[in-house]
Amino acid sequence: MAAATRAMAVAGQTTSCLLSKRPFTLKQKPQFSNLCFYNKRVVFSSSKRLFSCSAIYNPQVQIKEEGQPETLDYRLFFTDNSGKKVSPWHDIPLHIGDGVFNFIVEIPKESSAKMEVATDELYTPIKQDTKKGKLRYYPYNINWNYGLLPQTWEDPSFANAEVDGAFGDNDPVDVVEIGQTQRKIGDLLKVKPLGVLAMIDEGELDWKIVAISLDDPKATLVNDVDDVEKHFPGTLTAIRDWFRDYKIPDGKPANKFGLGNKAANKDYALKVITETNESWAKLVKRSASAGELSLV
């Protein structure tokens, strides 16, 4: 994590934590239920909450490109204000407050290069995915901004009884942002979840959170899946069908979906976010096996 962040972890310094506006020193016990991370280490713990502290790391990150886009060497790194690299997966807080979350764009809408956070590389930069040494592209453009929720992880050792017993796909949780603006790779947006699709990809559970950026003109109109159907008619079906069919041109079978083949509501999406945030907490505490994943 950034040096400035580590500095705040010195005992006796005052900071403030998510879900509370009351300052406290690290020698004191906070008067709320939450977990805070300093250098990816748990400081406090109690009841089940979103495991991030929005106040200890101000996500005024910069991006730094290395290599040329659409080459095997291309990487988009995130840095803090001092120029030191930070991980978009581990070091950017998940929760902002009031049901709002940080979202990192990997793939802009109306593009086809399959970009993703490199979870097995130091500082987890964004790169273009490969297969058999070649860059991967979707067979057609994706119609929404696509990316991840930081500080989440779909545990590959956990079988979800609600979704056909499927195991997690070992990645951060994906987000499909339905706003009208085409974003850029590496953009950090504030979004609110509206629903979630339970995609099953070759037996692995790959959640798709449907969300909208707070700066979208229609953001105030949509707060749940029913609102999406009203103000973005056909969008939920289009998202499901896109992710169901995108591998078919490569000769693979269609993906499947749990939860009745429909998008679950906002409350269920928040449940997914909380559970996968808890899994991430276990990962960075090393109480879950990281395998080849980078925790830096």
Q: Which residues are known catalytic residues?
A: 138
Smallest CA-to-CA distance from 270 within 221, 216, 207, 187 is with 207
Structure tokens at 26: 């690290």
Cα–Cα distance for residue pair 259/264, rounded to 1 Å: 7
CA angle (162 as vertex; 267, 49 as ends), nearest 5: 45
Phi, psi of 271 (to 5 degrees): -65, -45
Would you call 116 helix, strand, or coil by DSSP?
Answer: strand
Smallest CA-to-CA distance from 12 within 3, 29, 1, 24 is with 24
Cα–Cα distance for residue pair 19/13, rounded to 1 Å: 19
CB 216 within 8 A of CB 223: no
Report the chain's C-alpha Rg in angstroms.
Answer: 19
> Which positions ≥6 away from 227 have C-beta within 8 Å?
194, 221
